[in-house]
Chains A and B, each alone.
Chain A
């Protein structure tokens, strides 16, 4: 009848999960959407369903893999919930030739965060991880766009900070292994100047269990691993946006001037490194 109709039917069969289910359960109803001759219908019915499923699952898992590899931690530690929202995203937003994988990855990050934030039952840690990985991707994307010509960037900073690592999942199109990450993190509050390396999966798991948060500086592309107290402090700062207000609040909470000085120094450092955006002169 029409080659165009036959191709349209095939394209939908490969990409539309619901339509495929309809075809398998009641092919005539699926055929009703297209102008196909009886011979064409018969030929389509002769394609083994296992092959259709295998091909379409290849298409869909390829797309899923491309997205998930850019959210290595969120997809690794919260696989079930991550897949749930990823399936929903891919049902709603199909891959097309006008959007790059990176654009899809960024869009999915936005979609995932919105879904998680609207779903109150979700794990806070998952939201933080998704936020962290999404922000990292957006920053990396901007950074790549801005410094395309600087070919030494990856070579020079490779393995030295998370910024270089964060570019790799985008560039290499494969997930980073957890033990490839070397966090040069500042352990704040208790001893903010204590630098330590976190390079093993076990340690990362432990840190996640203890609900540490990752922060990412858009200025120097350093990552920070912070504990829950600092996380609360930063949440507070985000809402306040005034250093003098923060100082007063800290004064109420921390009686020791030395402890407060330490906290303010941390804040200054975060301001310097643009982890938070605030004018120092406010104080």
Chain B
């Protein structure tokens, strides 16, 4: 039985767990409602560093975020899926998140998120994969929009057509990375609010916000600086139309000396949920 997106409760605002700020995260647990953890940090053979996942689950609502599902692949990596399943069983999240991206094929891991081909072949594969995974995991899957430098010339669908079809057939969730959207809109010159208007808004479960920077006239999703106005504006616009379960601040590098700066962003994000 496919789990339903609309049954996911509101979780709140939070931050992506990173080992470098683990101490501060635990110290300020009362101000962080949700913690997003990277799946790959916990499913590898060797013992992971940092705070044990059990301890994080005791203190926060935890949402797992995977990097390597490669949901558009005709043959999903069974061993990886098994490990994700075990992880889900262990932490019992309300939903599981990963990316709408190509990250691997048999024998090769790109180590990066690459754009998928938006055509009907890929759509059918993704629908099939999402249905199978949601049944197996027993929770909804939410797929994230990524940034891209180029589009495939064999695309015959636009993103919103692709995800609307996907949601129709799977009732899966969406992870809308507003900063990625802002970056793509800037770099490829389209209207981000129009993009939002065409999404299946009821299925947006999870929001990412982060800081971007400009390099050679293009925006880069650096996750290393404060959330900029463009993203806040999009969040404000989106929250008039959608009710996501969680808003997560992603910050991966160049952490501010004062953790309060990140906390203030989390607190500000929370005001939109309220």
Contacts and interface: CB of A to CB of B under 8 A. Distances in A.
Nearest to A99: B44
Interface of A: 3-4, 6-8, 10-12, 14-15, 39-40, 43, 46-48, 51, 54-55, 58-59, 62-63, 94-100, 102-103, 141, 144-145, 148-149, 151-152, 154-155, 168, 170-174
A97 B40 contact: yes
Contacts of B152: 43, 47
A148 B49 contact: yes
B108 A94 contact: yes
Nearest to B114: A14
Given A11-B104, A144-B49, A100 B44 contact: yes
Contact of B105 (A11, A155, A168, A174): A11
Given A4-B75, A145-B47, A62 B253 contact: no
19 contacts: A3-B122, A4-B73, A6-B117, A7-B72, A8-B108, A15-B108, A43-B153, A43-B154, A51-B150, A55-B149, A59-B112, A96-B111, A97-B80, A102-B49, A144-B49, A149-B52, A152-B23, A170-B19, A172-B253
A63 B20 CA distance: 19
A47 B151 CA distance: 8
Contacts, number: 119
B239 interface: no
B22 interface: yes
B157 interface: no
B106 A8 contact: yes
A273 B98 CA distance: 46
Contacts of A15: 108, 110-111
Contacts of B150: 47-48, 51, 55
B20 A58 contact: no
A100 B41 CA distance: 7
Q: What DSSP secondary structure best describes chain A's contact surface?
A: helix
Given A47-B152, A144-B49, A96 B44 contact: no
Given A43-B154, A59-B110, A95-B111, A100 B40 contact: yes
Contacts of B18: 173
Given A3-B125, A55-B150, A59-B110, A98 B45 contact: yes
A154 B72 CA distance: 41
Of A10, A47, A51, A95, most B-chain CB atoms within 10 Å: A10
Q: What DSSP secondary structure best describes chain B's contact surface?
A: loop
A10 B102 CA distance: 9
**Top 7 closest A-B pairs, CB basis?**
A51-B150, A46-B153, A95-B111, A97-B68, A96-B109, A172-B20, A11-B108
Contacts of B253: 172-174
B74 interface: yes
B114 A10 contact: yes
Nearest to A3: B121
A171 B112 CA distance: 20
A171 B105 contact: no
Contact of A54 (B44, B52, B74, B149): B149
B105 A14 contact: no
Interface in B12-61: 18-20, 22-23, 26, 40-41, 44-52, 55
Given A11-B102, A148-B52, A155-B23, A103 B114 contact: no
A99 B80 CA distance: 12
Interface string B102-133: 11111011111010010001100100000000
Nearest to B66: A97
B122 A14 contact: no
B105 A8 contact: yes
B108 A103 contact: no
A129 B43 CA distance: 33
Contacts of A47: 150, 152-153
B194 interface: no
B235 to A, nearest CB: 26
B51 A151 contact: yes
